[in-house]
A and B are shown apart, each in its own frame.
Chain A
Amino acid sequence: MSESVMAAQRPAKSASTRMKIILEKFFNFKTLRGFSTVVVFCVLWQLVVYYEVPYLLNLPRPLDVANNAGASAAAPDYWINWGLSLMRIFIGFIAAQVIGIPLGLAMGISRTFKQFTFSIFEILRPIPPIAWIPVAILFWPTRELSIYFLVFIGAFYIQILNVIQGVSNISVNVKWAAYSLGAKPKDIFWRILLPGSLPSIVTGMTVGMGVAWNVLIAAEMIAAQGGLGRSTWESYTNHNIPYIVVGMASIGLAGSLCSVLLRWLGKRAMPWTKKF
């Protein structure tokens, strides 16, 4: 059925059928299966606590964690920490994309530029982002700036490598065909090279986002004021174990939300990758 036909039918649906469709989207076998493993995980966790499994004696009960999570969610500090971590991620991550994507495109397109830049890039790239923490603290005037910088480093190199790969993946026939059809260099860039490397760019973002969270949490634990990583660390120093678990779960949730957002953006930006 063509999309226009489906669109024509949409307004005819009543509010109740629409509600039903939304409910079916969230309550179906697929989501149920996912939910069931979460339940099994919690049951196992409860059993571990109940039977006092060696080495895991400090583990709080799931219910304690849930209670503490509720208490956290009621406190404004908790949401301020969310806000701080998300802001640090987005500033560092977006800076990495804004600088990394054009640089990667330039390296992918111009052999001369790549010859000039690639060796220094390959020397700096293997340095783990966390190894930048001392100089980041020393060089940037504020702690916040140094954390942005560390997150930036985490996402930056990965994106450059992916963009270079994305440009080189575009087949020479596609470029030749475009030239034959009368494309000028600007058409080649905007209509061939950029959309052609987009799948790799989105991959670079997804992987980079993972590393960015790694770096952020480490940096927050060492150097920051506030943030999900910092509050988890402070729960440790206060020996408040349920709060540690709440912190970890929050970090996991925040990371997944970022991945979901990127996947959604990727699908929107690349309608041609949709399969049906």
Chain B
Amino acid sequence: MTRLGWYRFAVVGGAVALLEVLSLTGAIDKITMQAPHLIVRDLWRMLVSGRMNGAIMKTMGNTVLALVLALGVGIIAGALLHRLRALRDTLDPLFATYYAVPVFAFYPFFIVIFGLGDTPQILIAFMLGVVAVIVNTLNGLDRVPNVLLKTARILQMSPVDTALRMTLPSAGPYLLTGVKLAVAYSFIGVIGSEFIMSRGGIGYEISFAYANFDNATMYPLILLILLASIAINGVLSRWEQRLLSRRGMR
């Protein structure tokens, strides 16, 4: 591990140790929070017993569905908008302020339209992710050097070949930024809407456990979500950095 890695490890370790000490001495009472080692133990037991598997699968399934939709629609829309200058200019104010509008505010409205099933959750997660994909696709396509496209024309490459061999490699890092954001947003969208109002999933289980003062379920689940989102984001960020540094952009 690098020196910085050790420092980070020390910061996180120190924080956990502090929580542990505060819990054991009773400065944080048991009703508010359990000691970290108990949370880890409960998480382990929960995963081994498999009683949360249904909720985990439901959340994962919806997240993946929303992600696939956001990527598919986002990349196609991005590619189309790149060609349609006028439409792009018109939609630009929408993209620029899109993330200032709380998408979750539409959730009650979607529940009224589609009922309290998976559809409103997937729709919210999709809406959160898709604009990030569109914006980053446009950004990537804007930065494809013109000389590459001219070269492709001189070599008389087919449109498919041009896309695969010229456009994709050079827009790749930006597309990946969009993918990374879309992963995070679909996860946030699904968990968030489950948490606000739903009939199942990890977010629902957390809010259910909270309502029943069931800390032995709530904290392990929160820890699970923290670890999962940080791990996925870490892997994608690494990959993004590698692609960027290969082009000397970082």
A and B co-occur in one complex: no
